[in-house]
Amino acid sequence: MQTPLQVGPYRLEKILGRGGMGIVYRAYDQRLDRQVAIKRILTEFDDPLLRERLRREARTTARLAHPAIIQVFDLLHEGGCDWIVMELVDGTSLAHVLESGPVGVDETLRYAKQIAEGLVAAHRLGIVHRDLKTENVMVLPDGRVKILDFGIAKWLDFAHEAAVGGDLTKTGGLIGTSRAMAPEQARGAGVGPRSDLFSFGVLLYETLTGISPFRAVSPVETLSRVLIFEPQPVDEVAAGVPRPLAELVDRLL
């Protein structure tokens, strides 16, 4: 499908990134005279009832006004695609930061505080991320962080349900990233705030050590390790991690 140059009042300018969930563009909002990010969701929602669920979920997610969470501005259906309009920020993913090696304890704590506050705000509204990972945390030049893609995994759940004609827990479909997936999520069971906290623990482990606590050669093996494996304590992997912080990570996992 050819990408349009204009989506509603938004003029697409350039591609910022691609992923399994969609393609993100920089765009110009001609109504409000501002730069925004706009994501084209790769999965199409043809069912009118499913689309209404998507809109309801988008409206709920748009209520998430928190400094540590990317703000959702708008949802459109145009050119046979669903588009999510979001706040545009200048930064790099935490995953990219970690390509140079783990960050120190102080920096980890600075990120962790902001992410935790964002999760609290979301969970108070009944919103679960479902795919929290280092790739979905943007680090800004001033040290602030922004959590990306709140609600996106839920929308993909909707698409999966439509494709298989049933509930995810009954079909065995899994939405998320294997290395950061909570055990209940790996089993195909329901997810909740605790699932995000488990993923938060994985994120902290990776930020402190530079490696995944459940690393394996394949996604299937990774899921198996999530279910049965007790990871090595983070302070045994990375020197200088205070015991209270290591205990917190252990409890999250």
Name the residue with higher pLDDT: 229 or 55: 229
Q: How far apart are the first and last CA of the chain?
A: 42
Each residue of 51-83: pLDDT tens digit?
A: 676 666 677 777 888 999 999 898 888 887 888
Query: Could you give the residue numbers annotated as active site?
Result: 131
Contact 64, 128 (CB under 8 A): no
pLDDT grade for 244, boundaries at 50, 70 and 90 = very high
Mean pLDDT, residues 141-170 taken together: 62
Provide the pLDDT for residue 166: 39
| Nearest partner of 160 among 169, 147, 151, judged by Cα | 169
Cβ neighbours of 30 (radius 10 Å) = 12
Which amino acid makes up residue 64?
Answer: L
Looking up tokens 């990871």 gives 231
Provide the pLDDT for residue 141: 96
Mean pLDDT, residues 225-240 taken together: 89
Least confident of 1-5, 88-92, 172-176, 218-222: 172-176
Contact 81, 6 (CB under 8 A): no
Q: What is the pTM of this model?
A: 0.83
Least confident of 17-26, 50-59, 88-97, 126-135: 50-59
Q: Which domains does the chain have, with CATH numbers?
A: 6-87 (3.30.200.20), 92-252 (1.10.510.10)
Least confident of 11-25, 49-63, 86-100, 234-248: 49-63
What span, in angstroms and rounded, lies between the C-alpha atoms of 93 and 98? 9
What span, in angstroms and rounded, lies between the C-alpha atoms of 161 and 44? 12
Please give the sequence-ordered ranges of beta strands (E in DSSP) within the chain, or none if there are none: 6-7, 10-18, 22-29, 34-41, 72-78, 81-87, 92-93, 137-139, 145-147
pLDDT grade for 167, boundaries at 50, 70 and 90 = very low
Provide the pLDDT for residue 182: 81
